[in-house]
């Protein structure tokens, strides 16, 4: 069986960690990314960890001709599709860019796959597709697409539906929709981590910037939620555990659509995340209580049982591991920037 895999968005946060796992498991990995939200230096970091630098295409999924050329060059066995825009707030301001990039890009990708006989795809979906549910513990059988808070979330929902339709039209297609909860942490080497271009909006990248002084204080969005300490609770999953979930999925792809939650099953509050970071760093993290953020739900987490039973995958790392690895990544970045001065 061919072990050639195309990873779209492979220089990004989750993609780069998954590429490391793939190379370590003996897959031949090629990356396609337009570097909109990642840096070319990630390729050297991957090489430092694995001893192999993956072939890289600086390309945009919206560019059909280039996609066709890439699929002509190599006969891939499968595609792992991370590439997309993911800033929730920005998606409200620029919905058409999100629809064009995420949905348009994915349609082009599926078309290129079909044209070149590549029929296996793992897609980065999100817990966001569940919208508002009666229970905060999300199970794969719940209805999706209702009361989604933003265009970003709708792109994930629509792409899931497009991939389901693709399978209906061609029963040989093998599709996995992986619904990630809240990925955090970094590679234990400190060489890879989350380093978004521009202003971050997820909790951990902001915590990181407060810790190194690039942002003065963390705004905690509300402490009057109906949770034990009043702050929102989420299912934070270490990015290396998440990357390993893709490996398990690759071994279990079969014709049709498979849907899995990738989460820990254990929520933590914003205050607990702050405490864990302070414990790992040994320093107070400046923060203050701000108003609630529009669209935030009080709490939700994954029911990860299906992945455990069917894929034999479950998380192994804790939020303390994630904080330790995040600090290692921050320290490495600091040393790098000092050595460049």
Question: Which residues are known catalytic residues?
Answer: 152
The torsion angle over the Cα atoms of residues 296, 280, 218 and 272, rounded to 10 degrees, is: 30
Pick one of ligand WQD, ligand NAD, none as the site partner of residue 303 (Cβ within 5 to 8 A by kind): none
Spatial separation of the C-alpha atoms in residues 73 and 82, rounded to whole Å: 21
* Nearer of residues 37 and 144 to ligand NAD, judged by Cβ: 37
Helices (H), 51-195: 64-73, 88-93, 95-98, 105-115, 151-169
Question: Minimum distance from CB of 144 to ligand WQD (Å)?
Answer: 13
Whole-Å CA distances, 212 to 114, 215, 218, 276, 329? 46, 8, 12, 16, 12
Pick one of ligand WQD, ligand NAD, none as the site partner of residue 308 (Cβ within 5 to 8 A by kind): none
Question: Minimum distance from CB of 207 to ligand WQD (Å)?
Answer: 8
Task: Count Cα neighbours of 15 within 13 Å in the Cβ-side half-sphere.
Answer: 31
Distance of CA 131 to the CA centre of its chain: 18
Spatial separation of the C-alpha atoms in residues 248 and 271, rounded to whole Å: 32
Question: Minimum distance from CB of 289 to ligand NAD (Å)?
Answer: 23
* Rounded (10°) angle between helices 13-24 and 239-251: 50
Residue 180 within binding range of ligand NAD, rule CB under 6 A: yes
Q: Which of residues 102-141 bind ligand NAD (CB under 6 A)?
A: 105, 124, 126
Site string for ligand NAD, 26-65 (x = CB under 6 A): -------xxxxxx---------------------xxx---
Spatial separation of the C-alpha atoms in residues 3 and 20, rounded to whole Å: 15
* Nearer of residues 45 and 271 to ligand WQD, judged by Cβ: 271
Q: Which residues pair with 269 in a beta bridge?
A: 233
Spatial separation of the C-alpha atoms in residues 313 and 155, rounded to whole Å: 27
* Nearer of residues 17 and 86 to ligand WQD, judged by Cβ: 86
* Nearer of residues 286 and 295 to ligand NAD, judged by Cβ: 295
| Stretch of residues binding ligand WQD (CB under 6 A), selected from 73-81, 100-108, 109-117, 213-221 | 213-221
* Nearer of residues 67 and 232 to ligand WQD, judged by Cβ: 232
| Stretch of residues binding ligand WQD (CB under 6 A), selected from 42-50, 216-224, 301-309, 320-328 | 216-224
Work out which of 159, 220, 262, 322 binds ligand WQD, going by CB under 6 A.
Answer: 220
Work out which of 5, 7, 13, 140 binds ligand NAD, going by CB under 6 A.
Answer: 13
Helix (H) or strand (E) holding 205: helix 203-211
Q: Which of residues 252-271 bind ligand NAD (CB under 6 A)?
A: none
Q: Which of residues 106-135 bind ligand WQD (CB under 6 A)?
A: 126, 128
The torsion angle over the Cα atoms of residues 176, 180, 183 and 187, rounded to 10 degrees, is: -20
Spatial separation of the C-alpha atoms in residues 241 and 237, rounded to whole Å: 7
Spatial separation of the C-alpha atoms in residues 303 and 214, rounded to whole Å: 36
Binding site for ligand NAD (CB under 6 A): 9, 11-15, 33-38, 60-62, 82-86, 101, 105, 124, 126, 180, 182-183, 202
Binding site for ligand WQD (CB under 6 A): 86, 88, 126, 128, 153, 182, 201-203, 206, 218-221, 232, 234, 270, 293, 296
């Amino acid at each position: 069986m061919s072990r050639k895999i195309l990873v779209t968005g492979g220089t990004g946060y989750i993609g780069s960690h998954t590429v490391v796992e793939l190379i370590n498991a003996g897959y031949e990995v090629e990356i396609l990314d337009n570097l909109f939200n990642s840096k070319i230096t990630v390729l050297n970091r991957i090489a430092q960890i694995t001893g192999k630098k993956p072939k890289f295409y600086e390309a945009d999924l919206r560019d059909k001709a280039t996609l066709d050329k890439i699929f002509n060059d190599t006969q891939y066995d499968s595609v792992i599709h991370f590439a997309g825009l993911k800033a929730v707030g920005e998606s409200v301001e620029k919905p058409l860019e999100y629809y064009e990039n995420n949905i348009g890009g994915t349609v082009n990708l599926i078309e290129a796959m079909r044209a070149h006989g590549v029929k296996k795809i793992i897609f980065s979906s999100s817990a966001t597709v569940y919208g508002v549910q009666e229970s905060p513990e999300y199970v794969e059988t719940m209805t999706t697409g209702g009361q989604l808070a933003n265009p970003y979330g709708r792109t994930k929902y629509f792409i899931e539906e497009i991939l389901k339709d693709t399978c209906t039209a061609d029963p040989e297609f093998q599709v996995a929709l992986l619904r990630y909860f809240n990925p955090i942490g970094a590679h234990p080497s400190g060489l890879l981590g989350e380093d978004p271009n521009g202003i971050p909006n997820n909790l951990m990248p902001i915590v990181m910037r407060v810790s190194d002084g690039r942002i003065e204080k963390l705004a905690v969005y509300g402490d009057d939620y109906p949770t034990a300490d009043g702050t929102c609770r989420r299912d934070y999953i270490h990015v290396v555990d998440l990357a390993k979930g893709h490996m398990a999925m690759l071994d279990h792809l079969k014709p049709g659509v498979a849907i899995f939650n990738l989460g820990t099953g254990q929520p933590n509050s914003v205050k607990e995340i702050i405490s864990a970071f302070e414990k790992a760093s040994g320093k107070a993290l400046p923060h203050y209580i701000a108003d609630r953020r529009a669209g935030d739900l009080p709490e939700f987490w994954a029911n990860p049982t299906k992945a455990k039973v069917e894929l034999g995958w479950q998380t192994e790392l804790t939020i303390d591991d994630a904080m330790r690895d995040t600090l290692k990544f921050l320290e490495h970045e600091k040393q790098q920037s000092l050595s460049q001065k």
